[in-house]
Amino acid sequence: MSRLNLDDFSDLIERPDSGMRREAEERRERLIVPPGALGRLDELGEWLSAAQGSVPVKAVAQPRVVLFAGDHGVAELGVSGRESGSAHRLVRAVLDGASPVAVLARGAGVPVRIVDAGLDCDPELLPEDVVRHRVRRGSGRIDVEDALTAEEAEQAVRLGMAIADEEADSGTDLVVLGDLSVGGTTPAATLIAALCGTDASVVTGRGGAGIDDLAWMRKCAAVRDALRRARPVLGDQVELLAAVGGADLAATTGFLLQSAVRRMPVILDGVVSAACALVGQRAAFRAPDWWLAGQVSGEPAQSKALDRMALNPLLDQGVTVGEGTGALLALPLVRAAAALAAELPERTEPVGSDTD
């Protein structure tokens, strides 16, 4: 058993301020735009008020994209549309400004932070500030072996916690969370299937890079075999992440939980962040109150995880590229909700007047 018990987070994480949410709802009733006319933007503004403990809500002034990077040994089976061990190329594309998330972040003026938790490449290929946190070089092939040792899993979770603390301490007021991985959707599907008690075929999708039918069948088989290894360790989340997760997934889980402790809201991206969030919910049932689902990725496992956490995605644009792209697309909605809730004037006429 690991020395780190994620169940301890249950006592550390509080819900967003319900009193502030009620106050925000009451203020919304007084605005010149009729309640309900702004749709989900009203709900988003009230959620932000509760998370910030502020009415009126404050603008999202210092958002940050945080991407955890890693390679997964299961990609050797041909379950990904990308070459095994090539996640460092995804990282390089972001650093060079040549990926979708980099383009969107640049346009929105949002800084991007990449954390190498388990890339399978020489550290010299990437900047020191990216690779300095690496837990191990690549994660094990989860269909036949553990992704990590228990010690590595704990190290990765603590890495994610430390990154969350650094972001909160630096003034980051909302995180757009994503992953840069090759093979990552396979352990993500395995974690979700294990935690939801479902079969491999129900959760296995075609990944962000897209795979053909033969690769999908190989992926199903890998998830099925990994599930056999996951079920005996369902009682310990760190052991579960060691068995069928990976360094980047374990770090993301730690990041999500510590972000909730620090009252720092997070927008989730695709199936990988959803899987880590589901592990986090298993440890601390109040934690999902601090998270938003940015988008529908099309991965069946993501939909299953979000349903389990009662998180309703903000967008459905068919974006499958991953890398935090879909979550970043949702950021303007969150900012718009904050601006409307804060800046719309209140009615001057008495309630029940004859105006439309």
pLDDT by residue for the chain (356 residues), tens only, comes to: 448 999 999 999 999 999 999 999 999 999 999 988 999 999 999 999 999 999 999 999 999 999 999 999 999 998 888 899 999 999 999 999 999 999 999 999 999 999 999 999 999 999 999 999 999 999 999 999 999 999 999 999 999 999 999 999 999 999 999 999 999 999 999 999 999 999 998 998 876 566 788 888 999 999 999 999 999 999 999 999 999 999 999 999 999 999 999 999 999 999 999 999 999 999 999 999 999 999 998 889 999 999 999 999 999 988 888 899 999 999 999 999 999 999 999 888 655 544 44
The topology (CATH level 3) of 63-331 is: Rossmann fold (3.40.50)
Alpha helices in the chain (DSSP H): 9-12, 18-29, 40-52, 87-95, 100-108, 128-131, 150-169, 185-196, 200-203, 213-230, 237-244, 247-261, 271-283, 300-309, 325-343
Annotated domain spans of the chain: 63-331
Task: Report the predicted TM-score, pTM, of the whole model to 2 decimal places.
Answer: 0.94
How far, in Å, CA of 68 to CA of 194, rounded? 22
pLDDT at 355: 46
pLDDT at 37: 92
SS3 267: strand
Q: How many residues are given for the chain?
A: 356
How far, in Å, CA of 13 to CA of 3, rounded? 20
pLDDT at 60: 95
Return phi, psi of residue 133, to 5°: -95, 0
How far, in Å, CA of 208 to CA of 285, rounded? 29
Query: Dihedral of CA 259/263/264/265: which sign?
Result: positive
Catalytic hit among 166, 323, 343, 349? 323
14 in catalytic set: no
DSSP for 283-320, please give it.
H-TTGGGGEEE-B--S-HHHHHHHHHHT---SB-S---
Residue 194 vs residues 15, 187, 206, 229, 322: alpha-carbon distances, Å: 26, 10, 19, 10, 22
26: its two tokens: 């009451």
